[in-house]
Amino acid sequence: MTGCFADIDLTPSDLELARRRAAAGAGYIDLTSSNPTQQGLLFPPDILQTAAADYWTSRRYAPDPHGLPAARAAITRYYATRTPPLILSDDAVFITAGTSEAYSLLFALLADPGDNLLAPNVTYPLFDYLAALRQVELRSYRLDEERGWQIDGPSLLEQVDARTRAVLLVSPHNPTGAGPTPP
Ligand X SMILES: Cc1ncc(COP(=O)(O)O)c(C=O)c1O
Contact residues for ligand X, defined by CB under 6 A: 98-100, 124, 126, 170, 174
* Minimum distance, C-beta of residue 37 to ligand X, in the bound complex (Å): 15
- Contact predicate 167/139, CB 8 Å: no
Cβ proximity to ligand X: between 44 and 98 the closer is: 98
* Minimum distance, C-beta of residue 98 to ligand X, in the bound complex (Å): 3
* Minimum distance, C-beta of residue 124 to ligand X, in the bound complex (Å): 4
Cβ proximity to ligand X: between 98 and 183 the closer is: 98
Tell me how far apart the alpha carbons of residues 131 and 127 are, in angstroms, rounded to a whole number.
Answer: 6
Tell me how far apart the alpha carbons of residues 152 and 11 are, in angstroms, rounded to a whole number.
Answer: 35
* Minimum distance, C-beta of residue 116 to ligand X, in the bound complex (Å): 19
User: Could you tell me which residues come within 8 angstroms of residue 71 by beta carbon, excluding any fewer than 6 positions away?
Assistant: 95
DSSP secondary-structure letter at 13?
P
Q: Residue 29: what are its φ and ψ, rounded to 5°? A: -115, 120
Cβ proximity to ligand X: between 88 and 129 the closer is: 129
Cβ proximity to ligand X: between 124 and 142 the closer is: 124
- Contact predicate 116/165, CB 8 Å: yes
* Minimum distance, C-beta of residue 58 to ligand X, in the bound complex (Å): 31
Angle between helices 126-133 and 99-110 (to 10 degrees): 40
Cβ proximity to ligand X: between 122 and 156 the closer is: 122
